[in-house]
Amino acid sequence: MRSISIAITTAFMTMAAAASEKPVHLKPAPGLDRVEANCAACHSLDYVPMNSPFLSAAAWDAEVAKMINVFGAPIDQADAKIIADYLKKNYGM
């Protein structure tokens, strides 16, 4: 009975936290559709503006390559270039 109570409490707490989460709106520009389709499939788009103060153009290229080569993101090379270009132009240092 205790495990059911814990599960219900956890579910309510999770729903409350998710309800207060604000959607991420990235800068409208060419390539945004590819970023939303590919990147948001695995993680929140919060990472883009959160990391932008720290990532140069070369670092964004490396970040996209890491997502594909290390984490196995199923992004083809044409989309990877579009995504990297979008990130560099709109969120690079």
Q: Which domains does the chain show, CATH number per domain? A: 24-91 (1.10.760.10)
Q: In this predicted structure, what is the pLDDT of residue 65?
A: 97
Instruction: Return the number of other C-beta atoms located less than 10 Å from residue 67's C-beta.
Output: 18
Q: pLDDT 10s digit of each residue in the chain, 93 long?
A: 666 667 666 666 655 555 556 788 999 999 999 999 999 999 999 999 998 889 999 999 999 999 999 999 999 999 999 999 999 999 988
Of 38, 16, 15, 14, whose CA–CA distance to 26 is shortest?
38
Three-class DSSP category at 41? coil
- pTM, whole model, 2 decimals? 0.75
With b for 16 or more beta-carbon neighbours within 10 A and e for fewer, the 14-24 pattern comes to eeeeeeeeeee
- Residue-wise pLDDT for 26-47, tens only, equals 999 999 999 999 999 999 999 9
Helix (H) or strand (E) holding 2, with range, is helix 2-19
Which tokens belong to 75? 């992004």
